[in-house]
Chain A
Amino acid sequence: MLIIGEKLSIIAKRVREAMIKKDKGPIQEIAIRQWKEGSGMIDANIGPAEDGGEELMQWMVTTIQEVVPLPVCLDTTNYQAIEAGLRVHNNEWGRPLINSTSNDPERFPILELAAKYNSQVIGLTVGKGGLPADAGERAAIAAEIMARAMEYGVPLEDIYLDPLVLQIATSQDHALKVIEAIKMFQEMNDPAMKTVVGLSNISNGCPKHIRPILNKYYFIMLMNAGLTAAIADAHEMAEAMQEKKLIDDVLAGKTLADAAKMTEITKTLDVIMGKTLYAHSYLEM
C-alpha cells in the first residue's frame, strides 16, 4: 500500500501561509514528518493556483525533495503548474504522479504531460457535469480514461484509477459504491489496474473527533477490496494498520473482548455500509 502524504494542502491554513510567504520551514517540517510516518510519496496540493502556479509548484517540488527522498504528487487543475513541477521533479526518488486527468475534456491534455514526462497519472472517474451514480458508471468512465491514455501513449500500468470518495456526511450511499468501484477497476485489465483514493474526504464535514475513526476503518475496508494507494494521513494509516485485525474480526462476525471498541467499530462499519443513516452523533446512539 502506497501512502501519499496529504498534509501539504492549500486548504490547511499553516501550509497556505507558508506557500504565500515561500517559507520553506513549515513545508519541509511537514514533509519530513509524513515521510517518517510512512508516506511513500508527498502530495503537493496548490489548489487551482491561477496566479503564479508554475513558480509555486516548482518551489513546492524542490522544497519537498530537498529534505525527503520521495516522489511528489502534483495536485492542481493548472496544466502549466503541473508541467513546471514535472520539469524540476527529481525522478531519482521515484516517478512523479499527476493529480489528475478525468473525463472532463478540460483535463484530457494532462495525459500529454504524463506521456511527455514519463509520469504516472491519476484518472479521476468523473465527467463534466454531475457525479457518477454508482460503481458501474465509475467503471464506464474508467474504461474511457484507459482508452484515452492508450491513445496518448500512457501505459495502463502508469494509471491510478480514482473512484472519487465523497463525504459520508452528505453522500453516504457512495461509501460502499466506491468500495465496489475499487473492486471493479482491478478487473478491468490484466495485470490489475492500480487504484487510489483521496481518503480523508470521507470524513470531510464530520466532527473532528470522529474523523480519524471514519478514515481508518474506511481505509481498512478499501484495503480489503484491493486498493493500491491512498492520499491520506500517514500517521492515521499506521494506526489503522495496528487496528486492522480488530476490524477484520468484526467484519468476520467475531466478538471483541474490548466492548467499547467493538461498539465503535460496529457502528462505524454500519454507517460505511449504509446500514444506519449517518449523523454527526452516530457513535452516541
Chain B
Amino acid sequence: MAFVAPKETYSGKVFEVTIGADKTAVFGGENVLPFYSFEGNVPHKPVIAYEIQDVPPEDWPETVKNVYEGVSGDPVTWAKYCQDKLNAQAIALRLVGTHPDRENRSSEDAAKTVKDVLSAINVPLIILGSNHIEKDSSVLVAVSEAAKGKNCIIGKAQEGNYKTIAAAAMANNHKLIAMSELDINLSKQLNILITQMGFDKERLITDPMCSALGYGLEYTYSVMERIRLAALAQNDATMQPPMLADVGMYVWKIKETQASEADLPMWGSLKERGIAWETVTAGSLLISGAEFLIMRHPEAIAAVEKFIEELM
C-alpha cells in the first residue's frame, strides 16, 4: 500500500505579535502545531529574551550568576551587555527589587529603572513585576506609563490583579502577559476577562505557568499542547495569543542547578547540568507550543537558538 502523508490542516491560527519600537521582534502567526512547517505556515521563529533584574542577582546560582559578573550590579549595564555582547533579541527586566520582602523599591524607582534601561537599548523590553499581587498592580501601572510608546510586554496580569495592569497596558499601548497556574480552563477564563475590559486579544500573551524539568514540566507541557490544539483545531480565539515559557526563573532555583558534583557525583558536572536543565526545559516547551521564552544562561540560549534554526 502506498504511503499517503497524513497531513492535518486547522481552521485556527496563532496571533502574530510584534514588540519593540526601534528594533522589533515578531513571533506567533503559525497555523499549525509548533514547527510543523511541512503542513502549514510557520512564519516566525520563537523569540528568546535575556532575563535581567533591577537588583543584583544575589539569589541566582553561581553557574548563571558568574556569567554576568561585573555587569549585573546595574540594570542598564546588564541590559547593554546582553544586547551588545550577547546579541539578545529582547531583554526581560524583572523588577524583583520591588517585592515588599526584598528591597521593597517604590513604583517611582521602578519607573526610573525602566526609563534608564529603555534609553540604553534599542531591542524590545519585557517588564515583569515581582509576582506580588498587590505590589505588582501599582508597580506595573507606573512602569507602563514610564515605557509609553515603546511597545513593551508588561507582565504578569493574574486573576487577582489583572484589572489595573491590563488597563495600564492598554492606556500605554503595550502587550500584556496573562498568567494562570497550570490550568487551561482558568487560562482561557483570564484571557476572556481581560478582553472583556476592551483589551485587544491580539495584544495578549498567554503564560500557562512554567515548570522546570523534573518539577512538573509535564503539566506545563500538556497544558501548552492543549492550548495550542484549542487555538488551531477548535479555532478558539481566546486561546490564540502566543504563549510564554518563563524558563529561567523556574529552572535556576531547583536542586539540579545548584548541587555540587562533589555532593552528587552521579549527577555530573554542575555547570553543564545547570545549562542543560535550562536548555531541555526550554526545548521541550518550544515543542509543546511556546513562541516566546525568557531565559538566563547565554549558552543555554545559544543552544536553543541553534535548535530553533534546525527546526525551521
B234 at the interface (CB under 8 A from A): yes
Contact assessment for B185 and A279 in the assembled complex, using a CB-CB cutoff below 8 Å: yes
**Chain A binding surface, main DSSP class:** loop
Enumerate A248-285 residues with CB–CB distance to B below 8 Å.
275-281, 284-285
Alpha-carbon separation in the docked complex, A281 to B230 (Å): 16
Q: Specify which chain A residues have a CB less than 8 angstroms from the CB of B196 in the assembled complex.
A: 281, 284
Is A169's CB within 8 Å of the partner chain B? yes
Q: Are A170 and B185 interface neighbours, CB within 8 A?
A: yes
Q: How far is the CB of B235 from chain A (nearest CB, A)?
A: 9
Q: Which of B163-216 contact A (CB under 8 A)?
A: 183-186, 188-189, 192-193, 196
Q: Are B188 and A277 in contact (CB under 8 A)?
A: yes
Q: How far is the CB of B299 from chain A (nearest CB, A)?
A: 38
Cα distance A172–B239 in the bound complex, in angstroms: 16
Q: Indicate if B238 sits at the interface (CB-CB under 8 A).
A: yes
In the complex, what residues of B have CB within 8 A of residue A170's CB?
A: 183, 185
| B183–A279 touching, CB < 8 Å | no
B185 touches A276 (CB 8 A): no
Tell me the smallest distance from the CB of A43 to a CB of chain B, in Å: 28
The A132-174 residues at the B interface (CB cut-off 8 A) are 169-170, 172
Q: Are A277 and B192 in contact (CB under 8 A)?
A: no
Most buried by A among B184, B185, B192: B185
Residues of B contacting A172 with CB < 8 Å? 185
CA of A276 to CA of B189, assembled, Å:
13
- Do residues A280 and B234 form an inter-chain contact, with CB atoms below 8 A? no
Q: Could you say which interface size class chain A belongs to?
A: 10 to 19
Q: Are B234 and A279 in contact (CB under 8 A)?
A: no
Cα separation A77 to B184 with both chains bound (whole Å):
32
**B109 contacts partner chain A, Cβ-Cβ < 8 Å:** no
**Residue B236, interface by CB 8 Å:** yes
> Which B residue's beta carbon lies closest to that of A274?
B234
B193–A277 CB distance below 8 A: no
Q: Is the CB of B192 within 8 A of A284?
A: yes
Chain B residue at minimal CB-CB distance from A281: B192
Q: Which residues of A contact B193 (CB under 8 A)?
A: 281
Contact check, A169 vs B185: say whether CB atoms are below 8 A apart: yes
Complex Cα gap A280–B187 (Å): 10
Q: How far is the CB of B105 from chain A (nearest CB, A)?
A: 35
- Report whether A275 and B185 are in contact in the complex, using a CB–CB cutoff of 8 Å: no
CB distance from B166 to the nearest CB of A (A): 15
A275 cross-chain contacts in B, Cβ below 8 A: 234
CB distance from B297 to the nearest CB of A (A): 35
* A47→B129 CA distance, assembly (Å): 43
Give bound CA distance, A281 to B195, whole Å: 12
B residues less than 8 Å from A280 (CB atoms): 185, 189
Residues of B within 8 A of A284 (CB): 192, 196
Distance to closest chain B CB from A259 (angstroms)? 22
Interfacial chain A residues near B183, Cβ < 8 Å: 170
Select one of A169, A277, A281 contacting B236, CB under 8 A: A277
Question: Would you list which residues of chain B between 224 and 253 have a CB under 8 Å from chain A?
Answer: 230, 234, 236, 238-239
Taken together as a complex, chains A and B put the C-alpha atoms of A39 and B42 apart, in Å, by: 57
Residue in B230, B236, B239 whose Cβ sees the most chain A Cβ within 10 Å:
B236
How distant is the Cα of A280 from the Cα of B183 in the complex, in angstroms? Answer: 12
Contact (A281, B185) CB under 8 Å given A275-B234, A276-B234, A276-B236: no
- Complex Cα–Cα for A150 and B185 (A): 42
Inter-chain contacts of B184 with A (CB < 8 A): 277
A204 to chain B, nearest CB (A): 13
Which chain B residues lie closer than 8 Å to A276 at the CB level? 234, 236
Q: Mark B85-106, 1 if CB is under 8 A from A, else 0.
A: 0000000000000000000000
Chain A residues, CB < 8 A from B234:
275-277
Closest to A278 in B: B185
> With a CB–CB cut-off of 8 A, which chain B residues contact A277?
184-185, 188, 230, 234, 236, 238-239
Q: Please, which residue of chain A has its CB at the minimum distance from the CB of B187?
A: A279
Cα(A278)–Cα(B230), bound, Å:
11
How far apart sit A169 and B236, CA to CA, in the bound complex (Å)? 17
C-alpha gap A105/B239 in the complex (Å): 42
Smallest distance from the beta carbon of A215 to chain B beta carbons, Å? Answer: 18
Nearest chain B residue, comparing its CB with the CB of A168: B185
Ranked nearest first, the 6 interchain pairs of A and B with the lowest CB-CB distance are: A279-B188, A279-B189, A277-B230, A281-B192, A280-B189, A278-B185
A-B contact pairs, 20 of them (CB 8 A): A170-B183, A170-B185, A172-B185, A276-B236, A277-B184, A277-B185, A277-B230, A277-B234, A277-B236, A277-B239, A279-B185, A279-B192, A279-B238, A280-B185, A281-B189, A281-B196, A284-B192, A284-B196, A285-B192, A285-B238
A: residues with CB less than 8 A from B are 169-170, 172, 275-281, 284-285
